[in-house]
Amino acid sequence: MICSHGEGKHAVIIDLTDMRIPWAATSAPPDRSWGSRAGVRELALRIGFDMHFDVTGPAPTAFLLMLYAHPDVAPQLDAPERLAVDPALDLETFVDAFGNTCGRLVAPPGPLRVSHAGVFRCAYENEPQPEPSARQHHAGELPTAALPFLLGSRYCEVDRLSAVAWDLFGKLPTGGERVHAINRWVFENVRFGYRLTRPNKTALDTYVERTGVCRDMMHLAITFCRAMNIPARYVFGYLPDMDVPVDPNPMDFAAWMEVYLGDRWWTFDPRNNVRRKGRILIGRGRDASDVAMVTSFGGPALQTMSVIAEEIPA
Amino acid sequence: MICSHGEGKHAVIIDLTDMRIPWAATSAPPDRSWGSRAGVRELALRIGFDMHFDVTGPAPTAFLLMLYAHPDVAPQLDAPERLAVDPALDLETFVDAFGNTCGRLVAPPGPLRVSHAGVFRCAYENEPQPEPSARQHHAGELPTAALPFLLGSRYCEVDRLSAVAWDLFGKLPTGGERVHAINRWVFENVRFGYRLTRPNKTALDTYVERTGVCRDMMHLAITFCRAMNIPARYVFGYLPDMDVPVDPNPMDFAAWMEVYLGDRWWTFDPRNNVRRKGRILIGRGRDASDVAMVTSFGGPALQTMSVIAEEIPA
Amino acid sequence: MICSHGEGKHAVIIDLTDMRIPWAATSAPPDRSWGSRAGVRELALRIGFDMHFDVTGPAPTAFLLMLYAHPDVAPQLDAPERLAVDPALDLETFVDAFGNTCGRLVAPPGPLRVSHAGVFRCAYENEPQPEPSARQHHAGELPTAALPFLLGSRYCEVDRLSAVAWDLFGKLPTGGERVHAINRWVFENVRFGYRLTRPNKTALDTYVERTGVCRDMMHLAITFCRAMNIPARYVFGYLPDMDVPVDPNPMDFAAWMEVYLGDRWWTFDPRNNVRRKGRILIGRGRDASDVAMVTSFGGPALQTMSVIAEEIPA
Amino acid sequence: MICSHGEGKHAVIIDLTDMRIPWAATSAPPDRSWGSRAGVRELALRIGFDMHFDVTGPAPTAFLLMLYAHPDVAPQLDAPERLAVDPALDLETFVDAFGNTCGRLVAPPGPLRVSHAGVFRCAYENEPQPEPSARQHHAGELPTAALPFLLGSRYCEVDRLSAVAWDLFGKLPTGGERVHAINRWVFENVRFGYRLTRPNKTALDTYVERTGVCRDMMHLAITFCRAMNIPARYVFGYLPDMDVPVDPNPMDFAAWMEVYLGDRWWTFDPRNNVRRKGRILIGRGRDASDVAMVTSFGGPALQTMSVIAEEIPA
How far away is chain C from the Cα of A38, in angstroms, using its nearest Cα?
Answer: 46
How far away is chain A from the Cα of C259, in angstroms, using its nearest Cα?
Answer: 24
Q: Which of C21, C154, C229 sits opposite D6 (nearest CB)?
A: C229
Segment among B73-77, B96-100, D154-158 with least mean pLDDT: B96-100
Q: How many CB atoms lie within 10 A of CB B187?
A: 17
Q: What is the pLDDT of residue C284?
A: 97
Q: Which residues pair with A280 in a beta bridge?
A: A238
C-beta separation of A98 from A285 below 8 A: yes
pLDDT in tens, D149-158: 999 999 999 9
Instruction: Tell me how many helices (H) and strands (E) chain D has.
Output: 4, 15
Confidence check: pLDDT of B35 > 60: yes
pLDDT in tens, C122-138: 999 999 999 999 999 99
Instruction: Tell me which residue of D81, D71, D90, D86 sits closest to D30, measured CA to CA.
Output: D71
How far apart are the C-alpha atoms of C260 and C267, rounded to whole Å? 9
pLDDT band with cut points at 50, 70 and 90 for residue C23: very low
Q: How many CB atoms lie within 10 A of CB D215?
A: 20
Q: Strand pairing of D2-4 and D294-297?
A: parallel
> Is the CB of residue D312 less than 8 Å away from at least one CB of chain C?
no
Q: What residue ranges of chain A have pLDDT lower than 50?
A: 1-26
Confidence check: pLDDT of C294 > 80: yes
Q: What is the pLDDT of residue A38?
A: 77
The stretch D251-266 carries a mean pLDDT of 97
Confidence check: pLDDT of D275 > 50: yes
Q: What is the pLDDT of residue A279?
A: 97
pLDDT in tens, B191-211: 999 889 998 899 999 999 999
Backbone angles phi, psi at D32, to 5 degrees: -115, 20
Segment among A244-248, B48-52, B61-65, B164-168 with least mean pLDDT: A244-248
C-beta separation of D120 from D69 below 8 A: yes
The stretch D180-208 carries a mean pLDDT of 95
Up-side HSE of residue C292: CA atoms within 13 Å toward CB?
A: 18
Q: What is the pLDDT of residue D30?
A: 62
Q: Which of A208, A209, A211 to mutate to test the interface with C (most CBs of C within 10 A)?
A: A208
With CB atoms and an 8 Å threshold, state whether C59 touches D9: no
With CB atoms and an 8 Å threshold, state whether D208 touches B209: no
Percent of chain D with pLDDT over 70: 89
Q: What is the pLDDT of residue D194?
A: 87
Window C:268-297, CB contacts with D under 8 Å: 289, 295, 297
> Is the CB of residue A191 less than 8 Å away from at least one CB of chain C?
no
ipTM score assigned to the predicted complex: 0.85
Percent of chain B with pLDDT over 90: 76
- Touching chains, D (3+ CB pairs < 8 A): B, C
Up-side HSE of residue B212: CA atoms within 13 Å toward CB?
A: 29
Instruction: Tell me which residue of A39, A5, D212 sits closest to B157, measured CA to CA.
Output: A5
The stretch B111-118 carries a mean pLDDT of 97
How far away is chain A from the Cα of B16, in angstroms, using its nearest Cα?
Answer: 7
Q: How many CB atoms lie within 10 A of CB A210?
A: 17
Q: What is the pLDDT of residue A30?
A: 62
Q: What is the pLDDT of residue D170?
A: 97
How far apart are the C-alpha atoms of A296 and A12, rounded to whole Å? 16
pLDDT band with cut points at 50, 70 and 90 for residue D79: very high
Q: What is the pLDDT of residue D74?
A: 96
Confidence check: pLDDT of D23 > 90: no
pLDDT band with cut points at 50, 70 and 90 for residue D197: very high
Cα-based distances in Å from B192 to B179, B187, B189, B218, C193: 20, 9, 10, 12, 28
**Does residue A74 sit in helix, strand or coil?**
helix
With CB atoms and an 8 Å threshold, state whether A163 touches C204: no
Q: What pTM value is reported for the model?
A: 0.89
Report the mean per-residue pLDDT for chain B: 89
C-beta separation of B104 from B61 below 8 A: no
Q: Which helix (H) or strand (E) segment is C55 a member of?
A: strand C42-55
Q: Which of A3, A5, A289 to mutate to test the interface with B (most CBs of B within 10 A)?
A: A5
pLDDT band with cut points at 50, 70 and 90 for residue C2: very low
Q: What is the pLDDT of residue C179?
A: 98
Q: Which of B16, B139, B154 sits opposite A6 (nearest CB)?
A: B139
Contact list in B for residue D161 (CB cut-off 8 A) is: 208
pLDDT band with cut points at 50, 70 and 90 for residue C25: very low
The stretch D29-46 carries a mean pLDDT of 82
Contact list in D for residue C21 (CB cut-off 8 A) is: 19, 21, 97
pLDDT in tens, D47-74: 999 999 999 878 889 999 999 999 999 9
Contacts of B71 (CB under 8 A, 6+ apart): B20, B24, B95, B99, B100, B101
**Does residue A184 sit in helix, strand or coil?**
helix
Confidence check: pLDDT of B183 > 80: yes
How far apart are the C-alpha atoms of B123 and D116, rounded to whole Å? 83
The stretch B303-310 carries a mean pLDDT of 94
Q: What is the pLDDT of residue D19?
A: 29
Q: Strand pairing of D84-86 and A61-65?
A: unpaired
With CB atoms and an 8 Å threshold, state whether C158 touches D104: no
Up-side HSE of residue D57: CA atoms within 13 Å toward CB?
A: 6
> Is the CB of residue D91 less than 8 Å away from at least one CB of chain C?
no
With CB atoms and an 8 Å threshold, state whether B163 touches D204: no
> Is the CB of residue D196 less than 8 Å away from at least one CB of chain B?
no
Percentages helix, strand, coil for chain A (3-state, rounded to 5) are: 20, 30, 50
pLDDT in tens, A81-104: 999 999 999 999 999 888 999 999
